[in-house]
Amino acid sequence: MRIAGYRTFWDTSTLQTAERAMNRATARHKILAHNLANANTPNFVRLDLPEGEAPPSRLMQRALQTGALPLRTTDPRHISLPPAAQPRQAQPKPQPTPMRTDGNTIDPEYEMAQLAENELRYAMLARIAKREKAITS
């Protein structure tokens, strides 16, 4: 993608894929940290992002086939598409896990392990993006 003769950072398909994966890893990190912060909250149910969300490229292909492009309104005067035509963001879903006696489903050790794994995933994606950028520059 070029803007007025300049290349933008996310101008290759590899970088765009890395960007989407990094955004998902960031969102998941926030959810996992939220879970850990609520480890002692009675009746708190663990949340996590579901696996296997449709990638944006499929959503865009479907939108082009149906003639409904995903739009976002930034002003109250804009006309928006019906909710069914809008692309969906990955939403946290409750994760059924064994409960403690207070109804909480958080296991702090598991959450810490998930945070560490997610941090490694993000670091790997950042390295991929850095290497790809060095190759395309």
Instruction: Specify which residues 38 forms β-bridges with.
Output: none
Top pLDDT among 7 and 15 is at: 15
Asked which of 19-33, 45-59, 101-115 is least confident by mean pLDDT, the reply is 45-59
Give the pair of three-digit tokens for residue 137.
């520059």
* Closest C-alpha among 31, 79, 24, 83 to residue 56: 24
- The average confidence (pLDDT) of the chain is 76
Query: Span 88-116, mean pLDDT?
Result: 84
pLDDT above 70: residue 99? yes
| Percent share of the chain, pLDDT over 90 | 31
Higher pLDDT, 48 or 136: 48
Determine the pLDDT at residue 11.
Answer: 67
Q: Does residue 15 carry a pLDDT above 90?
A: no
Q: How much is the pLDDT for 128?
A: 87
Whether the Cβ atoms of residue 118 and residue 21 lie closer than 8 Å to each other: no
Q: 44-53, 60-69, 126-135: lowest mean pLDDT where?
A: 60-69
pLDDT band for position 38 (cuts 50, 70, 90): very high
Q: What is the mean pLDDT of residues 63-79?
A: 59
Calculate mean pLDDT across residues 116-122: 95
Instruction: Give me the percent of the chain exceeding a pLDDT of 70.
Output: 61
Pairing of strands 6-7, 2-3: antiparallel
| Domain map (residue ranges) of the chain | 9-42+107-137
Q: What is the 3-state secondary structure (H, E, C) of the chain?
A: CEECCEECCCCCHHHHHHHHHHHHHHHHHHHHHHHHHCCCCCCCCCEECCCCCCCHHHHHHHHHHHCCCCCCCCCCCCCCCCHHHCCCCCCCEECCCCCCCCCCCCCHHHHHHHHHHHHHHHHHHHHHHHHHHHHHC
